Structure 1
Amino acid sequence: MMHYWVGNLGHFFVITSFVTAIAAAFAYFRAAATEDLGNKNAWLINGRTGYYLHAVAIVGVCVLLFVIICNHYFEYHYAYSHSDKKLSTDYLISTFWNGQEGSFLLWMFWQALLGIVLIHTNKFWEAPVMTVFALVQAFLASMILGVVLPGISVKIGSSPFILLREVMQDAPIFKTNPNFIPEDGTGLNPLLQNYWMVIHPPTLFLGFATTLVPFSFCIAGLWFKKYREWIRPSLPWALFSAAVLGLGILMGGYWAYETLNFGGYWNWDPVENGVYVPWLVLVGSIHTMISYKNSETALKASVILVIATFILILYSTFLTRSGVLGDTSVHSFTDLGLSGQLLAYLLFFAVAAIVLAIVRWREIPSSKEEAAVYSREFWIFIGVITLCFMGFQVLIPTSFPVWNQFVGLFGIKSSLAPPGDQIAFYSKFQLWFAIIIAFLSGAVQFLWWKKIDVRTWMQQLIIPFVVALLAALIIVNVRKVFDIRFVLMLLGGLFTICANAKIIIQLMRTSPGLSGGAVAHIGVGLMLIGVMFSAGYSRVVSLNNTGMMISKDFSDEFNRDNLILFINEPRTMWGYDIEYMGERLVPRYHGGYVRSSDVVTTVDKDLVITKIPQNLEGVAYKAGDTIRVKGEDTYYEIQLRKDGKTYKLHPRAQINQEMGGILASPDIYRTVSADLYTHVSSVMNTTEEPEWSPLQEDTVRQGQQFFANDYVTVLESVERVNTVEGVTLGDQDVAVRAHIRIQGERGDYIAEPLFVIKDKMVGRISDEVKDLGLRFTLLSIHPETNTFVVGVNTRQKDWVIIKAMEKPFINILWIGTLVLMAGFGIAMVRRFREFIKMRAKGQE
């Protein structure tokens, strides 16, 4: 049955959200432009009403799209393309923002909520700020309209409620059966089936949405000629935005570390760069705004940076959604025909903001005094310039594909390409910028609180620098850090930690609420040290020391850095005995995971629990219960043994030809000092029939030992059986089963081949011991000599190729990120409190 009502209602809400956003923008614009208080209030009421209706419509669209996804209405293209019936509830939620339309909707949802918060907290700024907000919402709503203008056949937006048959009009099935509904969807990319994908995109898009708040206040300030006043209400929001956007970026890095197999957390992918650059500029704008509040300088710089942050977010959106990065980034969306709209969206706000800033430029107050070389304003300016250079060094090469397409419009051929080795190219520049930031973060903090002369400043820096230098010397010698770049990075990180720690100690006695900046800078120092060790001194520990290449089909680097493990054959690596224990098929059920090899048998698409394992304690299941499978993951159990302790790693891999072959996710064995990061590089294709050796025949008696591929084997017994699975035995038929015990590396295995005489014809049913690569067949029985002929075939044992890397002190990086977020949080709370106090005094 087709569920047209959901899509029709959804289309109605989408159109409503677009119309009400335009209406709200117009009403708020009139409220901002009129001087008459009566008319202003009337227009404000209209603006609020329009915006509330817009927010309700957005919520309605979200709810209906969830209904389509969760109820598996595969007649809709969005549900069919991004989900299937096997996905558990959490992954069904993540499919909501897996497509372009859903991610635009998520962005709109956050901005709708932020707009309502601003309506109730910033009465003075409501009209101009909400004019900008509603305009942005109207542009975003147009991205999901899915309307074709009659007469000119111009499509505006891509609707999440479009039917599958409308997208696949040429498919034969829809020509014969327009109401055809697929049984299942195409599913979610296995690499996106991760809990970080449930929380990372909402956090990142909340960060995108929050950059609109400072931008709106800035535009409102320029519009109303309130050049100074906009700083106070926008600063706490800028801090909130930097914290949330930074957290979203770091979540993405941790997802990449846990899920992808490139061996790190940051790959300098163009999509990653597109978010990293505006975050750097946003952090710079925070410093200039705080500098202005303290000393009446850097107001013009604040205007430029706040505008630049939002425009760069829009530019990032254009990069990732226009299809321009299709050949250079695995993370970018394909072009849905929205590139023209995206460009119009970008240019409208960029041109409007720049023109307004130029018109008002001469009126914006600026300090006439030159900042002294040892003043905080001068060094803050140097730090902000460094952050901007960091950003634009990344932005320019990332934008080469855009430049190529732009000049191509004029018939000019350009073949500029992003760097081949992205990590090496960007890191060699970013490392030096990071060193400068590290030393500035320590030194400038002592100038932040009060003006001091050069002598006093130097005296304040002596103790932190000496402590940092001594600590660096010890670490350099113990950890063998001899690369001058990393030595300076280590020293800079330690220096900013020591300097800001001293400031925090001083502030704790008087004003602990002022410590946000110092805490954030300690986080930066910890992050730099963590990055230096985990990236600069990461090493491959799965080195192939056999003297033989794995395969000539692989590169020299692959053969050198990867290790082939045969099942139940230990190897020594990184001081551990490492052993491949076999494939683990892990079906999902609605409460978690069960391991089929240990606890269940599979019947069609159901699981029948044969015993209750430890991880199901407290769950209302008992032996013999049947539960529905939600999907399955394939893991490869790797055991590490050292000093009598056993540790298990379960890297995941899936052969998926549609996505480039093998999709591998790592598993990580964590210690205090390092992570052992292991992923599967290649796996044995178990879907193909293995190549068996020629049959080896052995004539043995019961109880007699013989060798099967060097394994000690004994024929323990031969007995008649009355039933054989899949075979109906008559009164004159005979079935005999042999009981064969094989001594393997991990204990004894049992093989039970069958010899069947049915309708006077001989049949043989072999039994395979997969862990040992052996197949046993009872070939014949000789009653006169009481002997049996056992046939043995051998094949290559199951294997897996792994790569393992040691990531030293990576925990320092993760701790640093948490400290950085804590610093932003402390500073944000302080600024919000200041704003609330000023608003209470009528100085909003």
Structure 2
Amino acid sequence: MDIQYVGEHLLPGKLGQFFIVLAFGASLLSTIAYYFQTVKDKEDTSWRQIGRWSFRIQSVAVIVIIASLFYIIYNHYFEYNYAWSHSSKTLPVEYMISCFWEGQEGSFLLWAFWQLVIGNVLMRTAKSWEDSVMTVIGLSQVFILSMLLGVEIFGHRIGSSPFILLREAMANAPVFKDPEYLIKYISDGKGLNPLLQNYWMVIHPPTLFFGFASMVAPFAYAIAGLWTKRITEWVKPAIPWALIAVMVLGAGIIMGSFWAYEALNFGGFWAWDPVENASLIPWLTMISAVHVLIVYKNTGHSYFTGLFLTVISYILVLYASFLTRSGILGETSVHSFTDLGMSGQLVIYVLAFLVLSTVLIVINWKKMPFTEKEESIYSREFWMFIGALVMTLSCLQVIGFTSVPVINKLIGTDIAPPLEPVPFYNKWQMPFAMVVAILLGFSQFMKYKKTEAAKFWISTGVSLVMSLVITFIICYFTFFGGLKLIYGEGFTNENDFNWMFPVLIFAAVFGVLTNFTVLADAVKGKFKLTGSAVAHIGFGLMLIGAVVAASQNKVISVNTSGFDYGEQFDAKNKRENILLWKNEPMKINKYTVTYLGDSTEGVNTYYRVNYKVLDENNQVKESFDLFPLGQQNPSMGLVASPDTRHYLTHDIYTHVSSVPKKEVEGEEHAPHEGHNEDEEYNKPISYKVSIGDTIFFDEGKVIVRSVNRKAQLKDIPLSGNDVAIGISLDVVANDDNKVTPVEPVYLIKNNAAFSFPKKMDEFGLKFRLVKIIPEDHKFEIEMLKKPGKQKDYIIMKAIVFPYINLLWSGTIIMVIGFAFAISRRIKELRATSGAQAADKKVKQVA
């Protein structure tokens, strides 16, 4: 007999699932219809009409799916697994939007939506390319929507639906035997990952997935060109789409860096995380593709290279999807999704497009244009090709080491990924960046096909000299005495100096300077050069800002107090974090820093830290407050997000590394045999600790030293089956560093558990060992304190990032440059299409 569950809202889920099936069916029909229109008689457009209408039906269906899922999340229908896993009642509306794409199903839905947007644009603009291009896009859409089906066919599961009920996802859980489980047991959802509760995560994922989806357009043109034997005609219409993909995906990656800098506490903007790498690789290959396609358009050289880079860029997008969604990066990345059983589908998706591309290239190999004449080394196309080659080699290095988990799984090896990815990848990537920066500089003084050597060397020589002067000035203000303007007179450069830093800055300065020359020509009337010049200037500034901020940032919160904070802090973090007692100022660098208290909004607590700069007369020259966030998450512990003070020349970045554990309102503590609650103490606070951990309180700290497995209790004899375990604690006073040992005991006697507390009357404390957690090598202890004025503290880290605004401004300028370039290419394409239409009309009249 079926259980009649109470309180469930099944209609939105059934509606959403119906439209998933409808969208998948419509995408399949659209692909088939456009395929037949491509291979059949062009005079009969009936297949095209079917393709168009089925694509539009698919578009409406996906919008309904999105609306249904958001309706479920917004109304807190926790009977659905997706809503329960990713949202909660305390989330504000903007973060409910983030819930939508936190899960795999939501991100696939977002990807499908953007591909539909691109497909609808192409239906209106592709003209003679519509049938073949839309066949390729439709096929991609079939694969993506299959990831959302959540059905079983012949015992094999196809996709994962976002509308699965919680009781279906956890079918064996006993709670679902109760018809009123939703009312009795499911009061709230698990909530959104605290790290994603940031405004950048509302806009970063949609932009990133728009970039991924945009990659399908130039790929579709390339495949369509090979399929319909229009071997070279696809290049011109593909270039604007390739530029759009580069601009949007680049913007998405930049937003991810903003998010990492503002929300994550690793102290930086790029960590070379495998998921970050997975999005970076196709972006770099598509940038290379754009440059080579422009070379082919202007000179007829390097056709195959442009084709290969265009095709491989989308294949790499699919491979990136496999890496991040198969669960294979679970041990090497904090960003990757867990495996939902779709690994096989993802592999088929990648292989299908890889095989399709390879077959078409092989079939058309002899028809492709290959130029026997070598390019002159004094030609722009030669060095643009070299630049694309260098960027491709750079990608090979990144993708090789990012794919280590895949290699291990395929051939059974046990290769370890880089232990410290930032210095590892930086060491490899800086030489590539130097070469690219130099090339984007002196290639601007060259012309296509042939350049006058004397004129080239004169222009280049002047720019090289000016670049050396500017580099010297920049290096003074970044690596040498000029940093005292930011850090103060006591500044010492503790970071290791690397000769590659000034060399890379010189290369980037040279690239920026030469492109300013091109920009000056654009102002004189050569407007078509504006886009590339602006994009290159932005790229150069981005490199300068990244090198300076990453190499010359300085931790100013140096610990000189003697506190070691316990084993949860490694040696580096013990040195780089300071303990601030509430309302007790401390001098760090040129700032006097004071912790002033906290305020709680929902699940987040904001810790107010005041910075002051005092002059020689102790007068306040500057004062500001920062509010780093700390959330005491039940499953993740302390989740901290920094707060940053922005200046024109630098940022001051602050985050909390440890805070006192707050009592949760209404939290219940189970009674323990062997003691009664002592009314003269405040409510106990529970800590799960390991050996070496430290707990801070008003007048000192408690260090968990060791476990005594042979503890003795006065007047209680132990028999053979009895177990008495003590946990040795050292209570250290703040004022004189006096250490007082104390050892609460946990006893199991006659199959009954007893907790024997120990008092510390000097501090008004009492300790209990209430639980042993052997699987986690942890112990649960309770600390009780007598009422009195409570003294608060935080442990915090502060970093100064010099000239980081060069990085952010450079990225914005680069995106603007891409926008100019897209506008130019679209105008060129329209002009060509108009001329072709006019010629066709003249021929018809004739």
**Residues 735-777 of structure 1 deviation map (CA, whole Å, 9 limit, x = unaligned):** xxxxxxxxxxxxxxxxxxxxxxxxxxxxxxxxxxxxxx999xx
| Distance in 2, Cα, partners of 1:14 & 1:357 | 34
Q: Is the 8 A contact 2:378 2:450 kept in 1?
A: no
Q: Is the 8 A contact 1:271 1:331 kept in 2?
A: yes
Aligned length: 698
Residue 220 of structure 1 is matched in structure 2 by 224
Q: Is the 8 A contact 1:653 1:665 kept in 2?
A: yes
Paired letter, 1:634: T
1:484 has 2:499 as partner: yes
Paired letter, 1:109: F
Q: Is the 8 A contact 2:478 2:548 kept in 1?
A: no
Give SS of 1:433's match.
Answer: helix
Residue 660 of structure 2 is matched in structure 1 by 684
Paired letter, 1:198: V
Q: Report deviation, 1:820.
A: 0.3
Question: Structure 1 residues 477-486 or 426-435, which shifts more?
Answer: 477-486
Q: Report deviation, 1:551.
A: 3.8
| Structure 1 residues 97-116: aligned runs within 5 Å | 97-116=101-120
| Distance in 2, Cα, partners of 1:808 & 1:230 | 46
1:58 has 2:47 as partner: no
2:535 is aligned, of 507, 520, 537, to 520
Q: Report deviation, 1:686.
A: 2.8
Paired letter, 1:633: N
Q: Is the 8 A contact 1:673 1:808 kept in 2?
A: yes
**Residues 668-698 of structure 1 deviation map (CA, whole Å, 9 limit, x = unaligned):** 0111111111111111123299xx9x99xxx
Question: Structure 1 residues 177-186 or 539-548, which shifts more?
Answer: 177-186
Residue 842 of structure 1 is matched in structure 2 by 836
1:800 is aligned, of 782, 791, 794, to 794
1:156 is aligned, of 147, 155, 158, to 158
Give SS of 2:657's match.
Answer: strand
| Distance in 2, Cα, partners of 1:553 & 1:53 | 56
Paired letter, 1:583: D
| Distance in 2, Cα, partners of 1:285 & 1:267 | 26
| Distance in 1, Cα, partners of 2:164 & 2:787 | 56
Paired letter, 1:639: N
1:833 has 2:827 as partner: yes
Paired letter, 1:118: L
Q: Report deviation, 1:113.
A: 1.2
Cα distance 1:81–1:553, how it changes in 2: closer, same or farther (>3 A)?
closer
Give SS of 2:149's match.
Answer: coil
Q: Report deviation, 1:453.
A: 2.0
Q: Report deviation, 1:301.
A: 0.7
Q: Is the 8 A contact 1:514 1:830 kept in 2?
A: no
Q: Report deviation, 1:814.
A: 0.2
Residue 700 of structure 1 is matched in structure 2 by none
Q: Report deviation, 1:36.
A: 4.7
| Distance in 1, Cα, partners of 2:273 & 2:790 | 39
2:641 is aligned, of 665, 668, 688, to 665
Residue 24 of structure 1 is matched in structure 2 by 30
**Residues 54-78 of structure 1 deviation map (CA, whole Å, 9 limit, x = unaligned):** 1111111111111111111111111
| Distance in 2, Cα, partners of 1:475 & 1:509 | 30
Question: Structure 1 residues 439-448 or 311-320, which shifts more?
Answer: 439-448
Q: Is the 8 A contact 1:173 1:180 kept in 2?
A: no
| Distance in 2, Cα, partners of 1:551 & 1:317 | 40
Residue 456 of structure 1 is matched in structure 2 by 455
Q: Report deviation, 1:52.
A: 1.0
Cα distance 1:33–1:560, how it changes in 2: closer, same or farther (>3 A)?
same
| Distance in 2, Cα, partners of 1:585 & 1:488 | 48
Q: Is the 8 A contact 2:80 2:166 kept in 1?
A: yes
Q: Is the 8 A contact 2:577 2:657 kept in 1?
A: yes
| Distance in 2, Cα, partners of 1:49 & 1:686 | 58
Q: Is the 8 A contact 2:381 2:448 kept in 1?
A: no
Q: Report deviation, 1:476.
A: 2.3
1:818 has 2:812 as partner: yes
Q: Is the 8 A contact 1:465 1:498 kept in 2?
A: no
Q: Report deviation, 1:359.
A: 1.3
Cα distance 1:125–1:576, how it changes in 2: closer, same or farther (>3 A)?
same
| Structure 1 residues 276-675: aligned runs within 5 Å | 276-407=280-411, 413-448=412-447, 451-480=450-479, 483-551=498-566, 554-586=569-601, 631-643=602-614, 644=620, 645-659=622-636, 661-675=637-651
Query: RMSD across aligned C-alpha pairs, in angstroms?
Result: 2.2
Q: Is the 8 A contact 1:206 1:245 kept in 2?
A: yes
TM-score (norm 1): 0.80
Between the two proteins, what is the percent identity of the paired residues?
Answer: 43
Q: Is the 8 A contact 1:464 1:502 kept in 2?
A: no
Q: Is the 8 A contact 2:298 2:448 kept in 1?
A: no
Give SS of 1:680's match.
Answer: strand
Give SS of 2:836's match.
Answer: coil
Q: Is the 8 A contact 1:200 1:252 kept in 2?
A: yes
**Residues 78-112 of structure 1 deviation map (CA, whole Å, 9 limit, x = unaligned):** 11111111111111111111110010000000111
| Distance in 1, Cα, partners of 2:371 & 2:640 | 57
Residue 620 of structure 1 is matched in structure 2 by none
Q: Report deviation, 1:574.
A: 2.4
TM-score (norm 2): 0.80
| Distance in 2, Cα, partners of 1:60 & 1:335 | 26
Q: Is the 8 A contact 2:175 2:181 kept in 1?
A: no
Cα distance 1:685–1:498, how it changes in 2: closer, same or farther (>3 A)?
same
| Distance in 2, Cα, partners of 1:218 & 1:582 | 60
| Distance in 1, Cα, partners of 2:572 & 2:556 | 13
Q: Report deviation, 1:485.
A: 0.6
Q: Report deviation, 1:667.
A: 0.6
1:176 has 2:178 as partner: yes
Give SS of 1:37's match.
Answer: coil
1:127 is aligned, of 124, 131, 142, to 131
Paired letter, 1:654: Q
Residue 264 of structure 1 is matched in structure 2 by 268
Q: Which structure 1 segments of 5+ residues have no match?
A: 408-412, 587-630, 696-708, 711-772, 776-790
Q: Report deviation, 1:4.
A: 1.4
| Distance in 1, Cα, partners of 2:53 & 2:787 | 79
| Distance in 2, Cα, partners of 1:131 & 1:442 | 40
Q: Report deviation, 1:179.
A: 6.2
Cα distance 1:48–1:572, how it changes in 2: closer, same or farther (>3 A)?
same
Paired letter, 1:837: A
Q: Is the 8 A contact 2:580 2:595 kept in 1?
A: yes
Q: Report deviation, 1:799.
A: 0.9
Q: Report deviation, 1:548.
A: 4.7
Q: Is the 8 A contact 1:496 1:525 kept in 2?
A: yes
Residue 52 of structure 2 is matched in structure 1 by 48
| Distance in 1, Cα, partners of 2:457 & 2:639 | 55
Question: Structure 1 residues 450-459 or 302-311, which shifts more?
Answer: 450-459
Q: Is the 8 A contact 2:299 2:449 kept in 1?
A: no
Give SS of 1:806's match.
Answer: strand
Give SS of 1:637's match.
Answer: strand
Q: Report deviation, 1:793.
A: 6.8
Cα distance 1:230–1:82, how it changes in 2: closer, same or farther (>3 A)?
same
| Distance in 1, Cα, partners of 2:108 & 2:460 | 48
**Residues 380-432 of structure 1 deviation map (CA, whole Å, 9 limit, x = unaligned):** 1110011111111110011011111112xxxxx31012111111111101111
Residue 211 of structure 2 is matched in structure 1 by 207
Q: Is the 8 A contact 1:438 1:496 kept in 2?
A: yes
Q: Is the 8 A contact 1:2 1:179 kept in 2?
A: no
> In terms of Rg, which structure is larger?
1
| Distance in 2, Cα, partners of 1:205 & 1:479 | 36
Question: Structure 1 residues 307-316 or 466-475, which shifts more?
Answer: 466-475
Q: Is the 8 A contact 2:611 2:625 kept in 1?
A: yes
